[in-house]
Amino acid sequence: MKKVEIHPEAVERVKKFTINDTQLGFGKYMSPIMIQALYEDGQWQRFDLLPYGPIQLDPCSKVLHYGQEIFEGMKVFRHPDESIHMFRPEMNARRFNQSARRMAMPEVPEDLFLEACEVICAYSKNLVPRRLGESLYLRPFMIATEVGMGIKPANQFLFMVVASPSGSYFSGDAVKVYIERDDIRCAPGGIGFAKTGGNYAASLNSYAKTIKLGCDQTMWLDSVEHQYIEEMSGMNFFAIIDGKVVTPALTDTILDGVTRRSIIDIAIAEKLPVEQRRLSIDEVIKGIQNETCTEAFLCGTAAVVAPVASLMDKDGSVYKLKDGQGKIGMQLREKLIAIQAGRAEAPEGWLHPVRNLDF
């Protein structure tokens, strides 16, 4: 396996770096180091750990015009014994490469992806927070850096990993969801399952509408019948219907969330009935009205699990969940947070320990 070259300036920077703020926020502070690797001549060149800083891009780099880019988001936790663990990073590595294939980008071999993530964590160890709910957030990403206006896959790419010590993203308030009946996020055969900027760009217009209407999150429906729930712009969706934990089955228009999978596994372990199937917005609205759908929640790496207070429709109707604080969602959330933080036993392979380096 290729090794990551450690630049002494990066080590000096991280040794001197401190954060004097108890409100870490999300993405407010960055670790002062970053991983960088160039892909050219058909292969990955050296991987470097460098001081964090701006990168130079030619104005005609293809990423700036044609959006050939992908990214990941994952968390790293400090356990009570001070050991540091990445949460299911192999799943992020696999999803990164699924995104890469769809976007005609080179894969980053899984062992190299994991090594890059582990090295930035190992050197950022003093920045991994201690309080429950806090973590070091990792953002691996890849961009097309080849210069040229031709619309074709690039042959030069930059892979980077940056890290941000982050507080709890969850305010505790239940979320108001706006049902998007007009715009679509993606279509079958498109790029919905890939973690690529275009999907997020496509969601922003509706985000602005959602906020203007006093809601917090946009709910996307399928693009063919405008009837089946897919997900939020950055989280997956669950509803509790007739006591069952129901979530839309994965398709090529839904991001395969690591938190979604973890919640399903925890629910099964807790002996809760789980269904992954097509879930129509009509079924959920009717269920809320006749109280068979008692709660709903959203899940993703950043917020973990957030209960849904209400759904708002295009005509202004608001459907309030009976249990707006989400008893089952919160029970699953507590369990997942305890596993991540090393306060409950983790299923095999969920925690990837980060080696402890002296520097």
Ligand X SMILES: Cc1ncc(COP(=O)(O)O)c(C=O)c1O
Q: Rounded to an integer, what distance in angstroms lies between the CA atom of residue 142 and that of residue 175?
A: 32
By CB under 6 A, tell whether 235 contacts ligand X: yes
Instruction: Give 27 or 73: the residue with its C-beta nearer to ligand X.
Output: 73
What three-state secondary structure class fits 296? strand
Residue recorded with tokens 């969602």? 329
Closest CB 231 distance from ligand X, rounded Å: 5
Closest CB 199 distance from ligand X, rounded Å: 6
Residue recorded with tokens 């729930």? 229
Q: Rounded to an integer, what distance in angstroms lies between the CA atom of residue 161 and that of residue 156?
A: 17
Quick one: which segment of 49-57, 209-217, 233-241, 282-290 binds ligand X (CB under 6 A)? 233-241
What number of other Cβ atoms are within 10 A of residue 315's Cβ? 6
By CB under 6 A, tell whether 198 contacts ligand X: no
Q: Rounded to an integer, what distance in angstroms lies between the CA atom of residue 329 and that of residue 337?
A: 12
Quick one: which segment of 20-28, 79-87, 257-265, 317-325 binds ligand X (CB under 6 A)? 257-265
Instruction: Give 33 or 328: the residue with its C-beta nearer to ligand X.
Output: 328
What number of other Cβ atoms are within 10 A of residue 171's Cβ? 10
Q: Dihedral through CA 213, CA 217, CA 218, CA 221, nearest 10? A: -130
By CB under 6 A, tell whether 255 contacts ligand X: yes
Q: List binders of ligand X among 46-75 (CB under 6 A).
A: 73
Closest CB 88 distance from ligand X, rounded Å: 9
By CB under 6 A, tell whether 259 contacts ligand X: yes
By CB under 6 A, tell whether 31 contacts ligand X: no
| Residue from 37, 186, 258, 296 in contact with ligand X (CB under 6 A) | 258
Of the candidates 189, 311, 304, 199, which has an alpha carbon nearest to the alpha carbon of residue 257?
Answer: 304
By CB under 6 A, tell whether 236 contacts ligand X: yes
Instruction: Give 49 or 108: the residue with its C-beta nearer to ligand X.
Output: 108
Where are the alpha helices (H) located in the chain, listed in sequence order? 8-16, 62-66, 89-102, 110-123, 197-212, 258-269, 281-289, 327-340
Q: Rounded to an integer, what distance in angstroms lies between the CA atom of residue 215 and that of residue 202?
A: 18
Q: List binders of ligand X among 300-339 (CB under 6 A).
A: 300-301
Closest CB 261 distance from ligand X, rounded Å: 8
Q: Rounded to an integer, what distance in angstroms lies between the CA atom of residue 234 and that of residue 199?
A: 10
Instruction: Give 10 or 138: the residue with its C-beta nearer to ligand X.
Output: 138
Q: Rounded to an integer, what distance in angstroms lies between the CA atom of residue 34 and that of residue 5?
A: 12
Quick one: which segment of 14-22, 207-215, 242-250, 253-261 binds ligand X (CB under 6 A)? 253-261
By CB under 6 A, tell whether 234 contacts ligand X: yes
Q: Rounded to an integer, what distance in angstroms lies between the CA atom of residue 231 and that of residue 3?
A: 38
CB 233 within 8 A of CB 185: yes
Instruction: Give 13 or 335: the residue with its C-beta nearer to ligand X.
Output: 335
Quick one: which segment of 109-117, 148-156, 168-176, 258-266 binds ligand X (CB under 6 A)? 258-266
| Residue from 146, 180, 231, 283 in contact with ligand X (CB under 6 A) | 231
Closest CB 355 distance from ligand X, rounded Å: 24
Give contact residues for ligand X (rule: CB under 6 A): 73, 231, 233-236, 255, 257-260, 300-301
